[in-house]
Structure formats: C-alpha cells, structure tokens
Amino acid sequence: MTLIRSARETHAYSPGLKVKRADKIRRIRRLPILGKVLVKEGDRVDFSTIVAETMIPGEPNIIKVAAELDILEMDINDYMRMVVGDKVKKGDVIAEYNAFFGLFKKHINSPVNGIIESISPISGQVIIREEPVPLSMNAYIPGRIVQLLENEGTIIETNAAFIQGIFGIGGEAHGELRVATEDPHEILTHKLIEEDDEGKVVVGGSLVTKEAVDRALEVGVIGIVTGGITDIILEEILGYELGVAITGQEEINLTLIITEGFGDIAMNPRTLEIFKEFEGSIACINGATQIRAGVIRPEVIIPHEKFALEEVGDELSDGMTQGTSIRIIRQPYFGYLGRVVGLPVELQTVETESKVRVVEVELEDGRRVIVSRANVEIIEV
Amino acid sequence: MSSRDIIFQVDEAARSRLHRPVEEMNYILATDVGSTTTKARFFQKKEEGWRYIVSGEAPTTVEAPYEDVTMGVKNAVREVEELTGHQMLESEGGGIILPFQDNKGVDLYCTTSSAGGGLQMMVAGVIKTMTAESANRAALGAGAIVMDVIATNDGRATYSKIQRIRNLRPDMILLAGGTDGGTISHVVQLAELIKSADPKARLGVTYKLPIVYAGNKIARQYIKNLLEEPFALDIVDNLRPILEIEDIEPARRAVHELFMEHVMSHAPGYNKLMKWTEVDIMPTPAGEGMAVNLISKSFGKNTLGVGLGGATTNIYSIIRERFVRSVSANLGMSYSICNVLKETGIDNIMRWSPLELEENEVRNSLRNKMIRPTTIPETLEEMIIEHAVAREALRLGLEHHKTIATRLKGTRTVSAFERGMTSQEMIETYIDMMNIGIIAGTGGLLSHAPRRVQSLLILTDAFQPQGVTMLFQDSVFMMPHLGVLSTVYPEAAWNIFDKDCLVRLGSVIAPRGIGRETENVLNIEMEMPEGDTLKEQVKWGEVKRIKLNEKQVTDVRISPTKHFDMGEGAGKEVVTKVEGGVVGVILDGRGRPLNLPEEIKERQRKLLEWFKSLDMYPQKMLGEIL
C-alpha cells in the first residue's frame, strides 16, 4: 500500500462560534437534584417564570458523641436523649452522660435546628440534618415549553438572535441592549457608560477598561459584551488570578462576555451589526464558560420574531469547504476574517518548522495567506 | 530486544472477543480521544513485522454542539483514509469496518480516552499518610484524576470536608481505611461522612455514583449497610491489609471496570464508541502508563515517564519495579496552560525565553491558548513561549509526583540522605534523579516539537537529570494507543513500539554540583564508533552536543572535577556506556541544581548560547527576532 498524495481537497473540521441573526434556540433547565416541574408542554414562559423547584437537603452536622462523652461507641444509644427521626432545635440536649448520681455530668447540645438522621453504635457518631433549603429555577429565556424532563426540569424553545462569546464571567441575567461604540475598533472606556444604563447590557468595542467596568458597576449595568479584555484587567476585576477557564459563579454583580479573545481585538463587525440591529431589545446573557469537560461558551440570546429562520445547514457540522467564512485565531494573523480558498492535502512547513495541514484563506483585505487548519475557526453567520 | 524477553499481561477475555485471531491480522487502527484532539494511528503488518503507517487527527467532539466523541473519531480516521486510500469507515454514518475484507476495514480497532475531563475521582482514607495515600496511588494508577483526598486526620473540620465532597461532583469515589482485623470505627465514620454529604455526580441526577470500598475487611457489612443503597457499591480486597503491604491492584481493577460500566457509558457518544471496539476503552493515562512500564522493563532501568497533555501532566516512575503514577490535573499545555502560569508565575515562564517579550503580551497569548486550546504556534516567538510553559508544567508535575512517590510510612533508607537530598525530601520521596536511568516523554508538545533536540532540552531543563540518563520520546504520540493494544496483542504493540514509536533522543551527561565561571566541570573520553577517541572538556555553564546515532552504544570515561559528582562521589571518575540518539550525547555543565542567571540580559545571553550550541531553533529566524 502506498500513501496517496492526491491533489483533491480534503475534509476539514474546525469548530467555531455561532453568530446568527435568527436561530431556533433550545435551553435545558435542569434541577441539580430531582424535584417538581411546574410547567406543562406548550406553556409560554417569560424570563422569570419559575419552571421547576426542589428542596436541597440541609447540611449534615456530624457530632462525635461517643468521643465527646468518652464512652464506648457501642453504648451510644444508652446515652442518647433522642432517637432517629426526632426534630431538634439548636441548643437541645441530644445526649447526656451521668455518673455517681449526677456528680459527673456531661451533655451534648445540638448545634443546629434539624432532624436526627442517624445514630451509629459503630462509629459513635450522630448526624443531624438541617432543614432543607428551597430552590427555584427560572426560565432564563422567554419561549415555549417543548419538552418536560420528568422530575428534573424542562426544555424551552425560542426564536432568537444568538451570539456565542469566547470567554465570560458572571451568570445568567437579562436586560435591554445598548450599543456603546459605533466602531468595533473603539475601546469601551468609562466615558461610554451612561447614567441611564442601569439594568442594561452595554455592547461594543475592542477592549473594556477596568474603569469602564467600575463605572458600569456604579451605574448598575447588568452586562458588558465586548471584543477583548487583557489578562491584567480580568485579574483586577476578579480580584484573583484565574487558573482554569471554568467560570459563571463569580460574585461581581455583572456579566462580562468577550467575543474575540484576550488583548485589544475589534469585535467581529458582523457581530456588532447584529447587536446594532437589535439595540433596545431584551437580551438574555450568561458568562458561564467551561473549556474542559463538556465545553460551555458564554452567550447572548436576543429573542425575536423579526426574521424567518435561516434555511442554512449547520456549517459547524458540515466542516470547512471552499468559501466557508472563517476567523484566524492565532498569530501572525490573529483576529483576521476571511474565506477559505484552498484546502491542500499536503502537509506544509510553517515558520516554526512544524509540518501541518493548512488552509489557504483570502482575507477581507484581499490578501491570500496560508495558515494552519488548527488556527482557524468557522464563523456561522 | 525481542518481545519474548518482556513480560506482557494479556487480557485473555478481551482477546477471545476479537473478530479475528491476532495471528491472522494485517491492519490495526487505534485512537486516543484526548481532551483536545482525537488522534488516529494506523498500523500494518509488513514482512519485517508490525509497523506504524500514518496518523490522522481532528478536534475532539465531546463538547456542544456536537456532544458525540465518535464524530471526532470519524474525522481523524477520515484523515487516515485520505492519506492512505484505505477505506475504514462504513459509508452510511456507521462505525469502523471490522474485520478487514474486500480491501476495506481493519482487523482490530481499540481506543483510549481522556476526553470530557477523563475519570475524575475523590479518594478517602483514614490516615492521610497511610491508607489515604495508598488509595490515592490506586486511583492514580487506574488512570484517574484525583480531585481531592479526604482523610480523617487531614486537618480539615468535618463541615469543611462535607462542603468539599458536596462541591466536587466526582465520577467515582474510592474509600479505604484500616488494616484487616483492626478498628472499624474510623472507616465507618468516613463512610457516614460521605453518605451524609450525599455527593452528586457530574454526569447527571440519574447517574448512580460508584464507590469502591478497599478497606478493613471486617467493616464490609457496615459499609454495605451504609452505602449500598444510595451508591453503586463495589467491595474489593483491602489495599493495606497490613501496614507493611500495599496491594492496590484489586482496587485499581475495580476502578477500571466501573469506569467502563458507569463513566464511559454516560459520556457523550461513548455508548456508540464502545460498540465499535471489542477491546475495553482505557483511560489515556492507563495506556500511557503501560507504555512507560514497557520501556522500563525492556531496558531494565529506573524510569521516569511523562505525558504532557493539554489538560493534565501525568508522571510515571518505575523505581526498582515499583510503578507510581501522578496526575497533575490542572497542569497542561492548552486547557490548563493558565493554571501553569498561575502556579509558577509569569517570571518563571519568561526566564526560559531569550527574547525580549512584553509580559502583558505573553499573558494574553497564554489566555488565548486557554480559550482556544486546539490552536498551535505558527511563529517562533509563540513556540518559544509554549516551550517555556512546558518546562514549568513538567517541573511542577515532578514536584507533585514526588509527593506521591513516597515510601510506605515506617520504612527509611539512608542512601538518599547520603546522596545529598535534604531530610525533608528523604521523608517525602524516594525519587533521586541520580538513580533515574531513563526519561521518556510523550504528549502533543513533545511529540510534535519540530526538532527533537527541543524536547530533549525541555525534558532536561525541567527534570534536571543527573549522572548519565537516556532520553526517549514518543515519535508521533502513540504510547497510549500501544498501551491499550498491548492488552490483546502485545507482540504487535512491542514491534511498533520498538521500531516506530520509541525515538531515542540520546543521552545527557550531567554532574551534580555548583561551580564558577571558567571552572572546569568535567572531562570525558568517548570511544567513537569510527574507532577514534573523542576527548572533550566542559566548562561551567557550557552545554555541548556530540553526534552519536540511534542504537550506537559506546564506552565513556567521565572525570568530574572536585566540586562535581557523577554518582560515585565528588570528583570520582565514572566509566560506563552511553547510548546515542537522534540528538546525540549532551554534555551538560550547567550544574545541578540548574540555576539560571538572575540578571535578565545575562540570562538571555546564556539561553541563546545554549540554544545555538544545541541547534535548538532555526538560527536565521532567531537572529531576525532578536
């Protein structure tokens, strides 16, 4: 058998981020543990509709009764004043040791309100379970319930513009969109945050400054969507250095989404165009990012019925072919947009001397460049 | 060396399920579904035996919107098809064609996987330095990422342990504690702690969390009463039946079986992938570990192996036949690259670059790699930065490994102390670089380094081998593939391993000691294959490269000066054999420990001098950047 070096073009596969004016969006709303689903299939829900609820079991409190009373584990029941299932209040005596007609006395009080869950004559421990904590889950996006997940949650569907970011911090929120920069190359400074931006999602620019974030927090902005951020500004906002990219739980009072990457990088003009078109609409945003173990990218969902759904295939699944719109995501052409003009089979040597599979790209300025296939991503428009 | 000289452990049950007897096979396909990339390797039986033919790679598709690992596998295999013209995939969206017939398909398909975060485990044991430590080693040996080790005496309050267990969301728990027949109350307390914390698996609410119990056997009934209902409980032999013995094999095996039964079947697309292969899917690190073990057994030397991946750094040591694996879950070259930055600090990364770089630019560049982990450096500058991070990831990984590779508590030796290790190091680890004969590296960055000398120097700078050490590298990243293949067809695995996988980089001769500028470090006399004797002198801070080809072995007389030690004591001569490789023999006079100059300009000058001396990067390009 000989290796084939045909001139034919090959299949290429480079996942990218979705930037779509109109798409059918489905979101799974799943409780962390089993609970009760409060909606029916076909129901219409709004951002804040509670779709499911559950009771999160209370904290367990383990008390080393045998050790504290200095008794044998197997004798624990002889000293207990409570049995399994009893309700206790903080301070109640749960176990007591009496010797010499009360001369030597020790007792153990419950540290919390709760229920005696177990008394173990093996370990000598008593477990008191605190009251369960109610947890409600809202819809996050407005739309129609299309499927129920028995005792777990539901799936909501809506027609919307959909923009995936590359990285974000902060959780789910919704607010009115306001585009703060005309030019995607403009830096989003504090001067561009306005007094009446309270509750809004402010969009635009190639980079957000720390002062702009501070100003946004002061005004009560709920979200910022911008092209880039620097590592140093991110650290200043968070107050710590991020190790692995698992985010969404930060307590920073706003959600921040970057669409392009780290550094001063102009927002993709097509992305900005969509934001401009929907300025004034309500957007659902989520900064949660997880780049490992089931990737989650931050997102902006702008529900609307203005457009018919685009009858395009899923470019991401189809892979890269002639004419596919791509973005270069590594130096020396990091941030450039273009379209595929060639997918040669042969490995080619790049500056590092690595032999890699490449793609020939015509940049928007007309230049043709050859880059590694690993360093481009498909833009779904 | 022939495969007959090496002891293999064949999984006879798996072998009996194969489509065709191994002797009749001609084509084998193996994949590794990595956290970043799915790598397909195609092997063929030739006249001279089994050989590696070609590779295909594609991004792993464990994530949304694909959420089906078989897509990435098909894309990688399609690349192999395109390069060979050999059809392996069923045309109508099916899987791999098995067995080979009508010029289509392969006779065997097997795979390893670390996608979706691999196997994430929590470990619990009674005493931190005894059963908890043994349980940790068992989980790591099974290829797991250990998220936390809970011990009765780990210094944390009960409530914080409970919080930790609740937040972890592991795939599996390994519980150990007590010697057989000893007290049971402590291990039962731990079981109660786990039960009351009610940990939730990351794989969803319908997933019944597996727990392996490998503790005191007389506590089994109590453990069963406590844990059987809410969990998928599996009870195996105690991993510390008596204090002096550690028997982790039953626990390791149970972890592996539960990994297949529970974890894999819940990961996106794995149910389909499991049907494609007749051999159990193996966690990548387990496959990698088998390959490192194979090297150690083949050459009969203490070996340090490393898998430098995108998400994790796995280190394996085989010292006097004791195999230990550590995994640093958040040290890696793509997903975890910024955790390396966080752990080591930007200064420690930038110290390995001879280029004038802006700190902010480097930071942003690493962040961009973190968020787009499948990209590769295309400029020399970016590659030098990644090579710098690799050194730090490996260095930190080895530090971590030393905390796992420890003696069973209660035993002590004085030889390490005599070798100059600090008393703290002696207590913590038995890894002594002077006793390591082989260092073997695998993983994307090392295997794909454009010049082999780059991986040799990265490994040398990070691990700082002492004495005479042979360095190997996985040619195109196929150690995990060959590890899983060796479970059913070891002869083929060894054939490919020896001929196509194992690249002999060369040997590093590096004495321990610190010197001064202009001081002589050592003199060598080497009998060259052509018959002449090569004499070289190495001064303090110098690195020299001597050409000696792969599989060429020669006698060498090494005479360190009075401040330097080659393993026989300061200033003592060593006469030994040294093996060459694609890089050759490196004479490293930079001293051990290796300290880079503090002053930036001087450090950059030194690095450049070493890079030039070893022909590390394209000189012209390096000159242009500088």
Q: Is the pLDDT of residue B394 over 80?
A: yes
**Distance separating alpha carbons of residues B337 and B356, to the nearest angstrom:** 21
Q: How far is CA B381 from CA B361, B384, B523, in A?
A: 11, 5, 35
Any CB–CB contact under 8 A between A3 and chain B?
yes
Secondary structure class of B384 (helix, strand, coil): helix
Residue with tokens 């919107």: B65
Any CB–CB contact under 8 A between B58 and chain A?
yes
The residue among B616, B467, B377, B374 whose CA lies nearest residue A334 is B377
CB contact under 8 A, A11 and B159: no
**Distance separating alpha carbons of residues B249 and A38, to the nearest angstrom:** 49
- pLDDT reported for residue A15: 58
Phi, psi of A50 (to 5 degrees): -80, 120
CB contact under 8 A, A1 and B84: yes
CB contact under 8 A, B363 and A232: yes
Nearest-neighbour CA in chain A from B36: distance (Å): 9
Instruction: Note whether B294 and B497 are within 8 A (CB).
Output: yes
Q: What share of chain A has pLDDT > 90, as a percent?
A: 71
Q: How far is CA A166 from CA A171, A224, A228, A241, B315, in A?
A: 15, 14, 10, 18, 31
Burial (CB count within 10 angstroms: exposed 0-12, middle 13-18, buried 19+), residue B160: exposed
**Distance separating alpha carbons of residues B519 and B505, to the nearest angstrom:** 28
Cis peptide before B480 (omega within 30 of 0): no
Q: How confident is the model at residue B502 (pLDDT cuts 50, 70, 90)?
A: very high
Residue range(s) of every CATH 2.30.30.30 domain in chain A: 314-380
Q: What share of chain B has pLDDT > 70, as a percent?
A: 93
CB contact under 8 A, B205 and A122: no
A258-272, A293-307, B129-143: which has the highest mean pLDDT?
Answer: A258-272
Residues 6+ apart with CB under 8 A from A155: A26, A27, A28, A29, A145, A146, A147, A148, A149
Cite the beta strand spans of B114-229 per DSSP E. Answer: 119-125, 144-151, 172-175, 210-213
Q: Taking residues A215-243, what's their average pLDDT?
A: 95
Q: Taking residues B13-24, what's their average pLDDT?
A: 91
| A28 contacts on B by Cβ (under 8 Å) | none
Any CB–CB contact under 8 A between A36 and chain B?
no
Nearest-neighbour CA in chain A from B395: distance (Å): 17
Instruction: Note whether B187 and B126 are within 8 A (CB).
Output: yes
CB contact under 8 A, B192 and A125: yes
In the sheet that B322-328 helps form, which strands lie side by side, from edge to edge?
B322-328, B313-319, B303-308, B438-442, B467-474, B502-510, B584-588, B543-546
Q: Taking residues B509-527, what's their average pLDDT?
A: 95
Any CB–CB contact under 8 A between A117 and chain B?
yes
Any CB–CB contact under 8 A between A317 and chain B?
yes
Q: Side-chain half-sphere of B425: how many Cα atoms within 13 Å?
A: 15
- pLDDT reported for residue B428: 67
Residues A11-39 pLDDT 10s: 444 557 888 899 999 999 988 888 999 99
Any CB–CB contact under 8 A between B87 and chain A?
no
CB contact under 8 A, A353 and B365: no
Q: How confident is the model at residue B236 (pLDDT cuts 50, 70, 90)?
A: very high
| Candidate from A57, A73, A291 with C-beta closest to B373 | A291
Residues A35-77 pLDDT 10s: 999 999 999 999 999 999 999 888 889 999 999 999 999 999 9
Q: How far is CA A240 from CA A166, A228, A250, B329, in A?
A: 20, 19, 11, 20
Nearest-neighbour CA in chain B from A101: distance (Å): 30
Continuous segment of H or E residues that includes residue B71: helix B69-84
**Which residues lie across from A56 on neighbouring strands?**
A133
Instruction: Note whether B147 and B170 are within 8 A (CB).
Output: yes
Residue range(s) of every CATH 2.40.50 domain in chain A: 60-130
**Distance separating alpha carbons of residues B391 and B388, to the nearest angstrom:** 5
Q: What is the mean pLDDT of chain B?
A: 89
The DSSP-derived string for B558-592 is EEE-TT-BSSSSBT--EEEEEE--SSEEEEE-STB
- pLDDT reported for residue B142: 78
Tokens of B157: 């309050």
**Distance separating alpha carbons of residues A295 and B24, to the nearest angstrom:** 42
**Distance separating alpha carbons of residues B480 and B32, to the nearest angstrom:** 7
CB contact under 8 A, B368 and A232: no
- pLDDT reported for residue B415: 42
- pLDDT reported for residue B418: 43
The b/e string for B485-523 (b: 16+ C-beta within 10 A; e otherwise) is bbbbbbbbbbbbbbebbbbbbbbbbbbbbebeeebbbbb
Proportion of chain A in helix, strand, coil states, percent, rounded to 5: 15, 40, 45
CB contact under 8 A, B379 and A332: yes
Secondary structure class of B15 (helix, strand, coil): helix
Nearest-5° Cα angle at B293, B8 to B149: 120
The pTM of the full predicted model, rounded to 2 decimals, is 0.85
Q: How confident is the model at residue A307 (pLDDT cuts 50, 70, 90)?
A: low
Any CB–CB contact under 8 A between A347 and chain B?
no
Q: For chain A, count helices (H), then strands (E).
A: 6, 28
Nearest-neighbour CA in chain B from A332: distance (Å): 7
Q: Taking residues B363-377, what's their average pLDDT?
A: 93
- For the question of an ipTM over 0.90, the answer is no
Any CB–CB contact under 8 A between B618 and chain A?
yes
Neighbour count for residue A72 (Cβ, 10 Å): 12
CB contact under 8 A, A230 and B371: no
- pLDDT reported for residue B430: 87
Closest residue, chain B, to A240 (C-alpha): B342
Q: Is the pLDDT of residue A335 over 50?
A: yes
Q: Is the pLDDT of residue A312 over 60?
A: no
**Distance separating alpha carbons of residues B113 and B268, to the nearest angstrom:** 12
Instruction: Note whether A167 and A245 are within 8 A (CB).
Output: yes
**Which residues lie across from A129 on neighbouring strands?**
A60, A115
CB contact under 8 A, B383 and A352: yes
**Distance separating alpha carbons of residues A259 and B242, to the nearest angstrom:** 57
Secondary structure class of B367 (helix, strand, coil): helix
Q: What is the mean pLDDT of chain A?
A: 89
Residue with tokens 């001293």: B591
CB contact under 8 A, B63 and A295: yes
Continuous segment of H or E residues that includes residue B252: helix B249-258
Any CB–CB contact under 8 A between A377 and chain B?
yes
Q: Taking residues B542-553, what's their average pLDDT?
A: 95
Burial (CB count within 10 angstroms: exposed 0-12, middle 13-18, buried 19+), residue A102: exposed
The residue among B400, B456, B406, B466 whose CA lies nearest residue B436 is B466
Secondary structure class of B425 (helix, strand, coil): helix
Tokens of A281: 């609409």
Residue range(s) of every CATH 3.50.30 domain in chain A: 18-24+159-303
Residues B406-464 pLDDT 10s: 877 644 443 444 444 444 444 568 899 999 999 999 988 998 899 999 999 999 999 99
Compute the CA torsion angle A101, A102, A105, A107 (nearest 10 deg): 110
Interface test with A, best of B106, B185, B327, B349 (most A CBs within 10 A): B185
Q: How confident is the model at residue B8 (pLDDT cuts 50, 70, 90)?
A: low
Q: Is the pLDDT of residue B79 over 60?
A: yes
Nearest-5° Cα angle at B20, B18 to B24: 135
Nearest-5° Cα angle at A193, A187 to A196: 155
Q: Is the pLDDT of residue B468 over 80?
A: yes
- The residues in B 149-188 lying below 8 A from A, measured between CB atoms, are 158-159, 162, 184-186, 188
| A34 contacts on B by Cβ (under 8 Å) | 205
Residues B442-457 pLDDT 10s: 988 998 899 999 999 9
The residue among B330, B294, B329 whose CA lies nearest residue B479 is B294
Any idea which fold A60-130 has?
OB fold (Dihydrolipoamide Acetyltransferase, E2P) (2.40.50)
Q: Taking residues B538-555, what's their average pLDDT?
A: 96
Closest residue, chain A, to B340 (C-alpha): A243
| Candidate from B371, B372, B618 with C-beta closest to A353 | B618
**Distance separating alpha carbons of residues B623 and B394, to the nearest angstrom:** 28
Q: How confident is the model at residue B197 (pLDDT cuts 50, 70, 90)?
A: confident
**Distance separating alpha carbons of residues A195 and A189, to the nearest angstrom:** 14
Residues B265-324 pLDDT 10s: 677 888 889 899 989 888 888 889 888 988 898 889 999 999 998 888 999 999 988 888
CATH architecture classification, A18-24+159-303: 3-Layer(bba) Sandwich (3.50)
Any CB–CB contact under 8 A between A315 and chain B?
no
Closest residue, chain A, to B364 (C-alpha): A262
Interface test with B, best of A167, A292, A315 (most B CBs within 10 A): A292
**Which residues lie across from A210 on neighbouring strands?**
none
Any CB–CB contact under 8 A between B376 and chain A?
yes
Nearest-5° Cα angle at B377, B371 to B379: 135
Pairing of strands B37-46, B49-59: antiparallel
Tell me the count of A-B CB pairs closer than 8 A. Answer: 205
Instruction: Note whether A256 and A229 are within 8 A (CB).
Output: yes
- pLDDT reported for residue B205: 67
Tokens of A359: 């793609």
**Distance separating alpha carbons of residues B571 and B573, to the nearest angstrom:** 7
CATH of domain A314-380: 2.30.30.30
- pLDDT reported for residue B571: 96
Any CB–CB contact under 8 A between B623 and chain A?
no
